[in-house]
């Protein structure tokens, strides 16, 4: 079962909303049968297996295995006049492995290049369909979902890949559960803070209790404490953030990646959480920009068709790869704003978007490997870095617009970074 949800964009230039169309979509559900990561500077050499002293949690579905392997060195504040690193976050909505090999494909790619990513796991992908009535979605019937439940083979494959992802240094966030979009009463757009709390607690429970729900007590646990691991998420279709944020703050989350139509500028906070949106990037050959997500590339190229005529694929593949690369280059060559990319493990239009994401990833990784201070990190690793920076430095970085270079170069622009400023955008409520 495929979920192609619709949402118009806001805050765009004239005509752009009509051209760009959608903000995000759900991943496929369906019932069809490394070196130190992150910063590129050091990293843990911990093994890719749980330690012998692992402490099972709850029913044994998860376990406390100690410090996560393959993490960057402890972040430090920028020195006065120092050039900020170029952070890039590749993230994945849903993060289910449904037999198409895309989850391990991108784990292999990340491992090859010493990168970390964020996987926003849909909790339902660890709940067997036979137990679907355990899910009580707000404003919907028990067991309802706009994405499909996975069959047993795919639940096992998802467990294997989530386990591997964490052990290889990646972050496991949440994409919540049933992916209800649109304008209907059951949409996440209308959920209250209390209903978001219920949805989050259920998403966590499906991860923490998969052994009870599946009966597979012979399988190894997920090697992390999800209560501590979960630091942020992305809502379905980028809807409902306003009512989510108070709950997320209460639960101790550190960021949210649900804002639509963001710009390539340094982030600020909302309700005490870092607001890390998908971003508008140049769309080669077009006069408008497109959100930095595979789904939006697809919508603008084939008007929501996932199986357009194949003769379009070569040009569309290059156009979507070019959009990601243009977004990276614009930030890297100018304001060094962190660059956020969202994806789905899907074969839309012959899989061209997976190819374009890989092409862009390799382009960015080559810059890092040539010695540039480019850091392919998870959202949580980026937040670790920005949280230790001086507020006045972040405030100064926030003054740089999209594609704006620092006047006088970085050495001059941040020379007085130790001095206080009149305001601190990073502390905005």
Contact 160, 104 (CB under 8 A): no
| Number of neighbouring beta carbons within 10 Å of residue 146 | 22
One digit per residue, pLDDT tens: the chain, 429 residues?
333 233 333 222 222 333 333 444 443 333 332 333 444 334 444 445 555 578 999 999 999 999 999 999 999 999 999 999 999 999 999 999 999 999 999 999 999 999 999 999 999 999 999 999 999 999 999 999 999 999 999 999 999 999 999 999 999 999 999 999 999 999 999 999 999 999 999 999 999 999 999 999 999 999 999 999 999 999 999 999 999 999 999 999 999 999 988 999 999 999 999 999 999 999 999 999 999 999 999 999 999 899 999 999 999 999 999 999 999 999 999 999 999 999 999 999 999 999 999 999 999 999 999 999 999 999 999 999 999 999 999 999 999 999 999 999 999 999 987 554 444 444 443
Length of the chain: 429
Joined together, the tokens standing for residue 121 give: 């796991």
CA dihedral over 341, 345, 346, 347, signed as positive or negative: positive
Contact 275, 269 (CB under 8 A): yes
CA distances from 86 to 22, 330, 343 (A): 27, 11, 20
Give the contacts of 378 (CB within 8 A, at least 6 positions apart).
38, 89, 91, 116, 117, 118, 169, 170, 171
| Number of neighbouring beta carbons within 10 Å of residue 357 | 25
- 45-68 pLDDT tens trace: 444 555 557 899 999 999 999 999
What is the C-alpha separation between 136 and 180, in angstroms, rounded? 13
Contact 12, 300 (CB under 8 A): no
Q: Which domains does the chain have, with CATH numbers?
A: 16-46+54-427 (3.20.20.370)
Q: Is 422 helix (H, G, I), strand (E, B) or coil?
A: coil
Phi and psi at residue 395, to the nearest 5°: -60, -40
Phi and psi at residue 276, to the nearest 5°: -120, 85
45 burial type by CB count under 10 A (0-12 exposed, 13-18 middle, 19+ buried): exposed
- 9-37 pLDDT tens trace: 322 222 233 333 344 444 333 333 233 34
- Bridging pattern class, strands 62-64 and 55-57: antiparallel
What is the C-alpha separation between 241 and 243, in angstroms, rounded? 6
């Amino acid at each position: 079962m495929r979920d192609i949800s619709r949402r118009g964009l806001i805050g765009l230039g004239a005509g752009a909303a009509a051209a760009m169309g959608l903000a995000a979509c759900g991943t496929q559900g369906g019932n069809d049968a490394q070196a130190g990561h992150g910063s590129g500077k050091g990293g843990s050499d911990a093994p890719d297996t749980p330690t012998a002293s692992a402490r099972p949690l709850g029913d044994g579905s998860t376990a406390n295995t100690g410090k996560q392997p393959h993490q960057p060195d402890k972040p430090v504040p920028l020195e006065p006049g120092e050039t900020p690193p170029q952070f890039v976050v590749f993230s994945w909505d849903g993060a289910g492995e449904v037999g198409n090999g895309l989850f391990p494909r991108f784990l292999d790619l990340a491992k090859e290049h010493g990168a970390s990513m964020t996987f926003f796991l849909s909790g339902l992908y660890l709940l067997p369909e036979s137990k679907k009535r355990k899910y009580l979605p707000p404003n919907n019937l028990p067991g309802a979902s706009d994405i499909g439940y996975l069959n047993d083979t795919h639940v096992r494959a998802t467990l294997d890949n989530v386990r591997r992802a964490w052990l290889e240094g990646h972050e496991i966030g949440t994409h919540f559960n049933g992916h209800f979009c649109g304008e209907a009463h059951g949409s996440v757009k209308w959920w209250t803070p209390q209903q978001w709390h219920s949805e989050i607690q259920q998403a966590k429970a499906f991860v923490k209790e998969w052994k009870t729900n599946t009966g597979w007590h012979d399988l190894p646990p997920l090697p992390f404490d999800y209560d501590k691991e979960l630091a942020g998420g992305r809502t379905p279709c980028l809807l409902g953030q306003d009512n989510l944020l108070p709950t997320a703050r209460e639960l101790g989350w550190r960021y949210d990646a649900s804002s639509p139509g963001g710009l390539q500028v340094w982030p600020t906070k909302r309700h005490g959480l870092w607001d890390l949106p998908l971003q508008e990037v140049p769309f080669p050959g077009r006069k408008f920009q497109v959100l930095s997500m595979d789904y939006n590339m697809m919508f603008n190229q084939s008007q929501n068709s996932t199986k357009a005529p194949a003769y379009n694929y070569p040009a569309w593949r290059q156009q979507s790869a070019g959009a990601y690369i243009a977004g990276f280059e614009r930030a890297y060559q100018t304001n060094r704003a962190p660059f956020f990319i969202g994806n789905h493990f899907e074969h839309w239009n012959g899989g061209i978007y997976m190819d374009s994401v890989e092409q862009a990833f390799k382009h960015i990784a080559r810059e890092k490997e040539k010695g540039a201070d480019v850091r392919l990190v998870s959202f949580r690793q980026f937040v670790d870095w920005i949280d230790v920076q001086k507020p006045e430095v972040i405030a100064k970085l926030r003054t740089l617009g999209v594609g704006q270079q620092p006047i006088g170069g970085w050495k001059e622009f941040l020379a007085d970074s130790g001095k206080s400023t009149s305001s601190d955008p990073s502390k905005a409520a």
